[in-house]
Amino acid sequence: MEIISNIIKAAIEVGSRIKTHDSPIEAQQETLKELLNKAEDTAFGKYYGFELLLKEKDFAKKFTEEVPYHDYDDMEFWWKKSLEGKEDICWPGKVRHFAVSSGTTGHSKHIPVTDDMLESIRNAGIRQVLSLSNFKDLPESFFKKQILMLGSSTNLDKIDGHLEGEISGISASNIPNWFRNFYKPGEEISSIDDWDDRVEAIAKEAKNWDIGTISGIPSWIELMLQRVIEYHNVDSIHDIWPNLTVYTSGGVALDPYKKSFEKLFSKPVQYIDTYLASEGYLATQTRPDTDAMQLLCDNGVYFEFVPFEEDSVLESGKINPEKKAVGISKVEEGKEYILLISTVSGAWRYMIGDTIKFTDVSKTEIKITGRTKFFLNVVGSQLSVNKMDDAIESLNENFSLNIKEFTVAAVKENEEYIHHWYLGLDEVKDSLDEEAIREHLDEHLKNSNKNYKVARDKALKDVKVSLISADKFLEWNDTNKHKGGQVKMAKVMKEDAFREWQEFVEE
């Protein structure tokens, strides 16, 4: 069946009706104007005077002056009213879907997913399909193959008149009709609640499918591929799906998993990265000669960028209100920013929690560099995940390791603070020199971060490294997993959560 050929034909037909702009600056101005227009009669819009904002010549500037930065706690004041079934709170109408976060700390977050946001996600998916034509090395036969999308269960929870689940399950349960009969594992299997049962059902049916593309979070995909290979007693996934050519990832860093995937593949596979968050589909890789992703500037999301500097985030975790955000017209390549979004789901100047940098301003291409929460500064080390990732990459190169997961916390030992790292390896060998790895990690961070170096000379008394199997991280996720999905391990933990993790590891 010429599945993707049919999809592309349908996507082109639908895509031709999607408004696009030559200029991302123009697109963003129009997007903000449309957001304010549509939401001016909501409770949020009335509170912040959207009607008056729109009368200003420079309404974008006025928007930044009148509407403060919001994090989840700020928006929850409004969103909980939508969760109770009230209409016209932050976006017109009643919210029928809520994406439940799968974090490992704090209470579960409920992010509104409006009908307009579902349309935005569908449009983003269409654009991703259309961009496949830019990948010239894809064989012609690829466009006749099926797509396997692996996310959380599409059997959403019905609670007080609304549906809730993880964003991957919500988006899969609302796929376009023209795509519904084409994708795998299909509605029946994708609605299985239990993750292990769903993977087992996929393994049983795998030989009946002709998969050209797989899509999902790397840790989920790796486990699924391993089970399919094991179930059919073959050497590689290409023995089952010989035409598998593309893997679209998202949600977490892909690079640490590539070595593991290469052991499961026997043919080259094109990796394509995407940026689908609970708050929206924000960016996607559109060309093969980069692993950066292009922001979708005309798809119901208005972007702002706060320079990520030492004083950008307060001790409370909120953005320093003295730090001014810039729009798409004033960003600089290579500079790190805290990402803010205003969306068709009624998020307003919302700190999504990610930091990004632009690799190509003219193409609005970005890379995710870390999380604002994953910022270790208990003793003034000012250590970002971006710096941590660089250090892990250096360890992989210098010690021929494959560190797939890590977590770190500032903890007290003998009344003094240390950084304790757990590094999850594909294989923990007796020959590994743990002390040499510890010294290299410490020196790399000293050389790349002056604040860390100062901290190591003062309040941060030592660094400890524990090498463990990456499977421990998967087991931890499994014990904390939500309905049909898997949680993401925090790269930086608070001390109390870290102690729980230690007890789990040492059991």
pLDDT digits 0-9 by tens, 268-318: 999 999 999 999 999 999 998 898 999 999 999 999 999 988 788 887 778
Largest separation between any pair of C-alpha atoms in the chain: 69
For residue 98, what pLDDT is reported? 96
Average pLDDT over residues 58-84: 96
Residue 10: pLDDT over 60: no
- Cβ atoms of 157 and 99 closer than 8 Å: no
pLDDT at residue number 106:
46
Q: Please provide the average confidence, as pLDDT, over all residues in the chain.
A: 87
**According to the model, what pLDDT value does residue 236 have?**
97
What is the Cα–Cα distance from 494 to 378, expressed in whole angstroms? 10
Question: How large is the average pLDDT for residues 216-236?
Answer: 93
Angle CA(399)–CA(401)–CA(406) in degrees, nearest 5? 115
Which of 245, 234, 258, 236 shows the shortest CA–CA distance to 210? 245
What is the rounded average pLDDT of the residues 206-215?
A: 94
Strand, coil or helix: 106: coil
Higher pLDDT, 159 or 315: 159
Please state, in angstroms and rounded to a whole number, the distance separating the CA atoms of residues 4 and 122: 16
Q: Side chain identity at 337, as an amino acid letter?
A: Y
**What pLDDT, on the 0 to 100 scale, is given for residue 296?**
95
Residue 482 has pLDDT above 70, yes or no: no
Q: Is the dihedral of CA 239, 240, 246, 247 positive or negative?
A: negative
Residue 468, pLDDT > 70, answer yes
Q: For 312-333, what is the mean pLDDT? A: 90
pLDDT digits (tens, 9 = 90+) for 382-441: 777 778 888 999 999 999 888 888 999 888 888 888 999 999 998 888 889 999 999 999
pLDDT number for residue 375: 65
pLDDT-above-90 percentage for the chain? 55
From CA 278, how far away is CA 464, in angstroms rounded? 34
Q: At 343, phi and psi to the nearest 5?
A: -140, 170
Contact 155, 14 (CB under 8 A): no
Structural contact between residues 487 and 461, judged by C-beta atoms closer than 8 angstroms? no
Per-residue model confidence (pLDDT) at position 342: 98
Question: In the predicted model, what is the mean pLDDT of residues 23-49?
Answer: 97
Average pLDDT on 187-212 reads 93
Token pair recorded at residue 499: 């102690």
pLDDT at 28 over 90: yes
Give this prediction's pTM: 0.81
* Residue 138, helix vs strand vs coil: coil
pLDDT of the residue at 6: 58
The whole-number pLDDT of residue 16 equals 43
Q: Give the span between the Cα atoms of 446 and 438, in whole angstroms.
A: 12
Per the document, the length of the chain is 507
- pLDDT one-digit tens code per residue, 120-154: 998 998 888 778 878 877 877 777 788 999 988 88
The stretch 21-35 carries a mean pLDDT of 92
- Asked whether residue 484 carries a pLDDT value surpassing 60, the answer given is no
Report the pLDDT averaged over residues 309-331.
Answer: 89
